[in-house]
A = this chain, B = another copy of it.
């Protein structure tokens, strides 16, 4: 029997979160955290609504997953996020010792890789899953925002 719980399955859930952010006028980035094929945290960027630069989807997901687990380390968890994490989020993921990060679109300007941020040595990274869908949503947001101003 085919396993429906593959990376695309969970990335789709993260994209749904990004769509919620989009509807709120937030930069559309969404995230879910998964353990044993179970989603334990869902979140989307809320920096505008909360007036808070720390309210990235990943940061909220890390706090929420740790709260669910009752411990601050996310050793057996996977983060699915629609955009490559920034320095701040990669730094938080470093402290969380998360097992795996799957991201969709690359952030060539502010992504953690181009910025040189270090992840925990035990963290595996996969990228490019549903990249086109995630990137299209981001592009649409920025084009509309430019046209409004």
Chain A positions within 8 Å of B, measured between CB atoms, are 47-48, 51-54, 59, 62-63, 66-67, 70-73, 86-92, 94-96, 115-118
Contacts and interface: CB of A to CB of B under 8 A. Distances in A.
B87 A118 contact: yes
Given A47-B72, A53-B95, A54-B92, 20 more contacts: A48-B72, A51-B70, A52-B62, A52-B66, A52-B67, A52-B72, A53-B92, A53-B96, A54-B54, A86-B91, A86-B95, A87-B88, A88-B88, A89-B91, A90-B91, A115-B117, A115-B118, A116-B116, A116-B117, A117-B117
Nearest to A54: B92
B87 A90 contact: yes
Contacts of A89: 88, 91
Contacts of A95: 53-54, 86, 88
Contacts of A59: 54
15 contacts: A48-B72, A51-B66, A51-B71, A52-B62, A54-B62, A54-B95, A86-B95, A87-B91, A87-B118, A88-B88, A88-B92, A88-B95, A91-B91, A116-B116, A116-B118
